[in-house]
Amino acid sequence: MKTLEVKLPGGVYPIHIGAGTLDSHLAAMVGGIATELVVVITSRTLNEDCPQHVRHAVKALADLPLRVETCLIPGGEENKNMHTLASIYDRLMELEANRSTVLVAFGGGIVGDVVGFAAATFMRGIEVVQVPTTLLAQVDSSVGGKTAVNHPQGKNTIGAFKQPVGVIIDLTMLETLPERELRAGLFELIKHGIIRDPELLEYLEQNAEKFGGRDWKFWEEAVYRSCRVKAGVVQEDEREGGLRAILNFGHSLAHLIETHTGYNAYLHGEAVGAGMLFAAFVSQAMGCISGEDFSRLRQVLEPLTAPIMLPPLGRDGFTKLLMHDKKAANRTINFILLDQVGHAFIRGGTTPEELWPLFQQFLEEMPGVLRVGDG
Ligand code: GLY
């Protein structure tokens, strides 16, 4: 078992990583702050597919002198919206929650984001413990305090920074994670190596045969190193004044893919996988990394991809979708590029006009990764 600390001006919080952390750490963490009521909020999908995990979380809290309640919300990126958020407020009102109530966000990235935002806003802010159950949420969304819901015209457009009291990563949750979700999470994990930790990338390259398995020693090390990168970046730049934007490597195209497909066709990690290959492709095309570097990245990432099909998309649509990214300013975006494998930088002032021909080339050269329908 391993523990990391995220040290921010507003306080320090732990991330516990290992097989069995739900039993060893959840009650102590919640018991340390809640006085009356704790509400475990999870998705209906997780509750139906793996009721044993939800029971496990509730049981872990059972010995505390607290009322333990649950709240079920719809899963899926298409439900990461104001309606789902409102349903959490309704349930909290029904349970007579107050400012001392603690929320446990038990689920994947969508649950973590919506519940985190509910915690940031209910009664002007209550505490939340993040218990991520998917690989993607474990290595990325549960750490760093970004919470949000989507607007139909833009992902994560309504949100807040809300750091949790702590993060509990129980690797045994990966046991039942569908293979597709595991692969999607791997992209964010590999991302941390590509943008900031060449040793993590090498570790992953050397252990690629363990990606589909349940070797907890491997996952503990991989998730720990990945969270360490994420925590390090967040510590340097909590509010994304600059550096934190490198975590968005691959995300410009990923957000375009997700918005253009209505948020429900592909998992976030899958869109990020295609987006990272595109960002690596652009890095090479702009002369920032060598052809050899690009091939190396392609070798790690491409075997994990499954083709993404986009509805018809012309130059205007491409521009419009990129500009809807909330980081767009003055008709340009911050595009994250690599200047070496293991080091990303922010290229401000990137225009859709520059990216459009590269996007066309990318589609031609990598049809196994991304295709656009002809309408
Ligand atoms: N997922 C990107 C960030 O937390 O900044």
Q: Produce one character per residue of 10-44: b if its CB has 16 or more CB atoms within 10 Å, e if not.
A: eeebbbbbbbebbeebbbebbbeebeebbbbbbbe
Is 248 designated active site? yes
236: pLDDT strictly greater than 70: yes
CA of 234 relative to ligand 1 center, distance in Å: 8
Residue 223 and residue 138 in contact, taking contact as beta carbons nearer than 8 Å: yes
Domains observed in the chain: 2-176 (3.40.50.1970), 179-372 (1.20.1090.10)
Give the residue whose CA is nearest to atom 3 of ligand 1. Answer: 247
- The verdict on whether 151 is a catalytic residue reads no
Tens digit of each residue's pLDDT (9 = 90 or more) over 152-203: 877 889 999 999 999 999 999 999 999 999 999 999 999 999 999 999 999 9
Q: Please tell me which residue in 16, 230, 260, 347 is annotated as part of the active site.
A: 230
Say what the pLDDT of residue 80 is.
95
For residue 124, indicate whether it is catalytic. Answer: yes
pLDDT greater than 70 at residue 143: yes
3-state helix, strand, coil in the chain (%, to 5): 50, 20, 25
**Which protein residues touch ligand 1 with a CB less than 6 Å away?**
140, 144, 146, 244, 247
Residue for token digits 């607007």?
151
Q: What is the pLDDT of residue 334?
A: 93
Residue nearest to atom 2 of ligand 1 (CA): 247
Q: How many helical (H) and strand (E) elements, i.e. helices and strands, does the chain have?
A: 14, 13
Distance CA 136, CA 113 (A): 12
Q: Tell the burial category of 346 from Cβ atoms under 10 Å away from its Cβ (0-12, 13-18, 19+).
A: middle
Structure tokens at 216: 């907890």
- CA-closest candidate to residue 271, choices 108, 92, 279: 279
In the chain, pLDDT over 70 holds for what percent of residues?
98
Using CA atoms, how far apart are residues 355 and 358, in angstroms rounded to an integer? 5
Q: Tell me, what's the pLDDT at 77? A: 86
Tokens at residue 246, please? Answer: 């490198």
| pTM of the shown model | 0.94
Q: Specify the residue for token string 């306080």.
A: 11
Q: Given pLDDT bands bounded at 50, 70 and 90, which one contains residue 327? A: low
Q: What is the mean pLDDT of residues 93-104?
A: 98
| Bridge partners for 231 per DSSP | none
User: How would residue 326 be classed by pLDDT, with cut points 50, 70 and 90?
Assistant: low
Distance CA 357, CA 375 (A): 20
226 pLDDT more than 80:
yes
Quick check: is 255 catalytic?
Answer: yes
Element (H, E) at 42: strand 37-43
CA pair distance 87, 78, nearest whole angstrom: 15
Query: What pLDDT sits at residue 329?
Result: 58
Nearest to 301 by CA among 265, 271, 266, 276: 276
> Considering only CA atoms, which of 41, 133, 154, 137 is closest in space to residue 87?
41
Q: Which atom of ligand 1 is nearest to the CA of 141?
A: 1
How far does residue 147's CA lie from ligand 1's centre (Å)? 10
pLDDT of residue 203: 98
Tell me, in angstroms, the distance from the centre of ligand 1 to residue 140's CA. 7
Can you tell me the distance from the alpha carbon of 130 to that of 71, in angstroms, rounded to the nearest whole number? 15
Whether 325 shows a pLDDT value over 70: the answer reads: no
Model confidence at 131: pLDDT above 60:
yes
Report pLDDT for 328: 58
pLDDT for residue 324 is more than 80: no
> Is 230 considered catalytic here?
yes
Q: What would the mean pLDDT of 18-29 be, rounded to a whole number?
A: 97
Which residue did the predictor score with more confidence, 212 or 36? 36
Instruction: Please pick, among 80, 91, 146, 162, the residue that the annotation labels catalytic.
Output: 146
How confident is the prediction for the chain on average, in pLDDT? 95
pLDDT interval class at 375 (50, 70, 90):
low
80: closest CA among 125, 112, 103?
112
